[in-house]
A and B are shown apart, each in its own frame.
Chain A
Amino acid sequence: MLANIFSQDLPRSKVLTVILVVILAGLLATPFIFPGARSLNVGAKIAVFIVLAASYDLMLGYTGIVSFAHTMCFGIGAYGIGIASTQMGPTWTAMAVGVVAALLLSTVLALGISLFSLRVRAIFFAMITLAVAAAFMTMASQLSDWTGGEDGLNFKVPELISPAFSLSDEKFLGASLDGKLIAYYLVVVVSGGLFLLMLRIVNSPFGRVLMAIRDNDFRSEALGYRNVIYRSLSSVLAAVFATLAGILYALWLRYNGPGTTLSFDIMIDVLLIVVIGGMGTLYGAVVGSALFNIAQGYLQDLLKLAHGNIDTIPVIGALFHPDRWLFWLGLLFVLSIYFFPFGIVGKLRAGALARKPTAT
């Protein structure tokens, strides 16, 4: 049963299983054990970035395609919701129109880029995606009548998932039963469903062909597989999932702007999440997203705490100043890549495999 849900691709490491259970339990229980807007924001962002990073891993880790246009699709999803809500009002019909339009646009763009450029060398494909993403970001800033330009769009969402909606005046385990809570669980549950769907895709015969192409593209062609078609399909699927992640993010934030979903900073974040978690293991996206977003959200607080106790010590005190949080975040990632070159999940799985008695 459990193996079927996870497409026969279980964590294969006790430590990893415990980490994943803790992350899942944490996400589900956040509204009750850490009530407050900030923790809910971090939880929702972890869930959305799991989908975004896993969809990027579908391309990078499973197919070996380097693309810099992934956040473009993330942005398309978010703008789809934002523009539909602004132009048509905060109704479910508007949301549906936004979802369909965003998915269509992402699919067409991803398919177009893939078919035109996946025949060329990997580095040229990466450059083409970089150019397209830059052009799209400029366009989003320029079309301010629709997108709100650099300021972005503040918009409303359907009443059921808006903070104004209330299920009950009573609190439950310290949490308000309102539209924000519903929106949070919508984001977490849908993200979980999308993750399981991606797990199904990478463990299907189609996913195995993608891995074969990544391992040895000449050989997969010699077996009769048309690499361009499979690579294009992988790219389109990744675009669709990134768009869905953008849709969830917009529904949660009720705001979207170029810096929120389209920026290259986010592209770098996604790349870091995938590399730290472990390329070619979708579970890596879960671990990486949780680690990255928690570090991004709370490192400054931890430093504040530490700085309070050692602020009188010269140099050390300055080093632990809360404003230095980006330095520590960078150091954390350098160290994790140094100690886990195949990512955290890769390391944990390799450790579990080494301890397992081998057949002779």
Chain B
Amino acid sequence: MSAAAAEPLLALEGVHTHIGPYHILHGVDLAVAKGRITMLLGRNGAGKTTTLRTVMGLWQASAGAIHFDGRNIAGLATPDVARLDIAYVPESMGIFSDLTVRENLFLAARKGPLDSARLDWIFGFMPALKTFWLQRAGLLSGGQKQMLSIARAMVEPRRLLLVDEPSKGLAPVIIQNLIVAFKALRAEGVTILLVEQNFNFASMVGDTVAVMDNGRVVHAGVMADLIADEALQARLLGLSLDSHQ
């Protein structure tokens, strides 16, 4: 499948973001193809999380445009961005500790009551959530909290999913389930932008890839090309690691 041929659902054009006195994003240009999984790679501090948070309006872009389905959403408040059917899974998970697993999912289902068929579908990937359905989310293990955080984004069909490092701290068997889950979401027509450090995981899930360094996208293309070209991998990912040391 060609990334260039697919129409972008989300497109960032020259996006700059400042957090207090710090200039984090220096003109990010990024196109996320509709119905595909786009991986956003890069070393720590490259600006990946800031890019997702800027799209969500959690940090406002100081310059540039963020087009979602043709509409510029830069400057919208976070709830308004979320209401466009954009779900965000933060790296910190952000679960509601004092609420039960059921209540966490209930709050994420903003369009109506929980759909039991969809829940069963989610439980297929994340059986622990069914086991601890009425348990306070704060009592779950780290991996289970991560699953709950991802399940919250899956509980209703969304148009765009922004996921920040989903594989972090998860057991290999759960990561395999996640890969299947993301592919199932893609088959449903959901567009996914996934931030990841784990290149192995990224190569198994991604259709397209963008690599960030120092607040800019330094490479964008098809994931298969990056997998096949070890020199490119070394240059993009190795270069960043070297410069980080």
CB of A12, distance to nearest CB on chain B (Å)? 12
Q: Which of B77, B83, B96 contacts A216 (CB 8 A)?
A: B96
Cβ-defined contact, A211 with B96, below 8 A: yes
Q: Which residues in chain A, 194-244, are within 8 Å of chain B measured between CB atoms?
A: 205, 208-209, 211-212, 214-216, 218-227
CA A257 to CA B152, docked complex, whole Å: 51
Residues of chain B with a CB closer than 8 A to A315's CB = none
Cβ-defined contact, A224 with B83, below 8 A: yes
CB of B6, distance to nearest CB on chain A (Å)? 26
Cβ-defined contact, A215 with B78, below 8 A: no
CB of A107, distance to nearest CB on chain B (Å)? 24
* Contacts A208-B107, A212-B107, A359-B132 given; does A222 touch B58 at CB 8 Å: yes
CB of A229, distance to nearest CB on chain B (Å)? 9
CA A219 to CA B149, docked complex, whole Å: 10
CA A280 to CA B82, docked complex, whole Å: 28
Q: Which of A211, A218, A224, A359 contacts B99 (CB 8 A)?
A: A211
* Contacts A205-B106, A216-B94 given; does A225 touch B79 at CB 8 Å: yes
CB of A85, distance to nearest CB on chain B (Å)? 43
Q: Which of B78, B99, B103, B132 has the most CB of A within 10 A?
A: B78
Residue B68 CB within 8 A of the other chain: no
Q: Which of A208, A219, A221, A223 contacts B110 (CB 8 A)?
A: A223
Q: Which of B90, B98, B132 contacts A219 (CB 8 A)?
A: B90
CB of A129, distance to nearest CB on chain B (Å)? 24
Cβ-defined contact, B98 with A222, below 8 A: no
Q: Which of B82, B98, B103 contacts A223 (CB 8 A)?
A: B82
Residues of chain A with a CB closer than 8 A to B88's CB = 222
Chain B window 92-132, contacts with chain A (Cβ cutoff 8 Å), 1 for yes, 0 for no? 00111111000100111010000000000000000000011
CB of A194, distance to nearest CB on chain B (Å)? 24
CB of B195, distance to nearest CB on chain A (Å)? 15
Q: How many residues of B contact A (CB 8 A)?
A: 24
Residues of chain A with a CB closer than 8 A to B108's CB = 223
Cβ-defined contact, A212 with B79, below 8 A: no
A218 to B, closest residue via Cβ: B58
Cβ-defined contact, B82 with A219, below 8 A: no
Q: Which residues in chain B, 55-102, are within 8 Å of chain A measured between CB atoms?
A: 56, 58, 77-79, 82-83, 88, 90, 94-99
Cβ-defined contact, B107 with A222, below 8 A: no
B107 to A, closest residue via Cβ: A212
CA A209 to CA B106, docked complex, whole Å: 10
Cβ-defined contact, B94 with A221, below 8 A: no
Cβ-defined contact, B98 with A226, below 8 A: no
B88 to A, closest residue via Cβ: A222
Cβ-defined contact, A222 with B99, below 8 A: no
Q: Which of B82, B107, B131 contacts A209 (CB 8 A)?
A: B107
Cβ-defined contact, A219 with B79, below 8 A: no
Cβ-defined contact, B106 with A208, below 8 A: yes
* Contacts A219-B90, A223-B107, A359-B132 given; does A212 touch B96 at CB 8 Å: yes
Cβ-defined contact, A219 with B83, below 8 A: no
Q: Which of B98, B103, B132, B135 contacts A280 (CB 8 A)?
A: B98
CA A216 to CA B97, docked complex, whole Å: 9
Residues of chain A with a CB closer than 8 A to B132's CB = 359
Cβ-defined contact, A218 with B131, below 8 A: no
CB of A211, distance to nearest CB on chain B (Å)? 6
Cβ-defined contact, A226 with B79, below 8 A: yes
A359 to B, closest residue via Cβ: B131
CB of A131, distance to nearest CB on chain B (Å)? 28
CB of A13, distance to nearest CB on chain B (Å)? 15
CA A223 to CA B152, docked complex, whole Å: 9
* Contacts A208-B103, A209-B107, A359-B131 given; does A222 touch B96 at CB 8 Å: no
Extra A-B contacts (7), CB below 8 Å, given A215-B97, A221-B82, A226-B77: A209-B107, A216-B95, A219-B94, A223-B82, A223-B108, A223-B110, A224-B82
B residues apposed to A, CB below 8 Å: 56, 58, 77-79, 82-83, 88, 90, 94-99, 103, 106-108, 110, 131-132, 135, 152
A residues apposed to B, CB below 8 Å: 205, 208-209, 211-212, 214-216, 218-227, 280, 359-360
Q: List 12 A-B contacts (CB under 8 A).
A: A205-B106, A215-B98, A218-B94, A219-B96, A220-B107, A222-B82, A223-B82, A223-B107, A223-B110, A225-B107, A226-B77, A359-B131
Nearest 9 interchain pairs by C-beta: A219-B94, A224-B82, A221-B78, A215-B96, A212-B96, A222-B88, A226-B79, A224-B83, A224-B79
